[in-house]
Structure 1
């Protein structure tokens, strides 16, 4: 998603109140939404990826959250499924497991985290993902690559510690 795309701006209770460009919610004292998915293979290993070095936020950082902003009126679940198709080239049925308000480099957001089982053969978008691998959650917790996106690490700890 680019800054030119329109997203929902939401209040402190995650109720839509306006629309505008991504990155513009904070200037209005509002939040934006993010739908993300933690992906596991059939063996229960987590997908870990390294963001593109050209990413505008957290370039070249590792993460476990595949996602982005829902389009205006789009549900978190629909956005999560769309992002999996766009970034990994897979169709999956994400299941929401967590929704929390958190800070980001462009302002506060509501983050809906999903889980989905995906195949290990992926067609990643190289504009988004520089490299990827699968690893057991305990192994990732014991040896987290650096640098790692802070919110992705918080989710990792919350779901798998």
Structure 2
């Protein structure tokens, strides 16, 4: 576990996303429990999505591109509050993320409950270099047809689902 993981307390939840106990980030799997993740897909007014590249020193998926901006809600924090906080911390954006999906998922560090949100945004004002190496906007279909490489597999899966289920806002809406 990293120093940040041992300093942050998060909720550990059961297979139905019910809180069971609390502990440091990264510790849920050792107890046979899930942790929570709040992620946001950022959409510009013209329908393009924010794509960012993770730093090469990132613990998970270093140097990979992704559309899911987020992290773990802190103990007692709602998914929506965590999604908004992560946008402020990582991209310097104030937005009102709208929940669109919530489902249990495997992850590189153990099972989690992933809550996906969508937020309409402008260009990031100030990114956190510990979380975002660089970023750009791209049309969703272009990301599926010609994704930048490497790309986080979960981000690609979520993008496909959002498009298939019509969960992204229409340009100019």
TM-score under structure 1 normalisation?
0.97
Look up the match of 2:90.
87
Show structure 1 runs of 4+ deviating over 4 A. none
Does residue 1:59 correspond to 2:62, yes or no?
Answer: yes
Which position in structure 1 is the counterpart of 2:53? 50
What do residues 41-75 of structure 1 show as CA deviations (whole Å, max 9, x unaligned)?
A: 11110000100111111100000000000000100
Map of 1:107 onto structure 2: 110
Distance 2:125 2:63 in 1: 19
Determine the structure 2 residue equivalent to 1:117: 120
Report what 1:151 is aligned to: 154
C-alpha displacement of 1:121 = 4.2
Distance of 2:109 and 2:43 partners within structure 1: 28
How many residues are paired up? 161
1:21 aligned onto 2:24: yes
RMSD: 1.1
**SS of aligned partner of 2:82:** helix
Which of the pair is proportionally richer in strand? 1
Q: Measure, in 2, the Cα distance between the counterparts of 1:27 and 1:126.
A: 30
1:3 aligns with 2:13: no
Distance in 2 (alpha carbons) for counterparts of 1:41 and 1:124: 17
Provide structure 1 residue ranges, at least 5 long, that are not aligned to the other structure: none
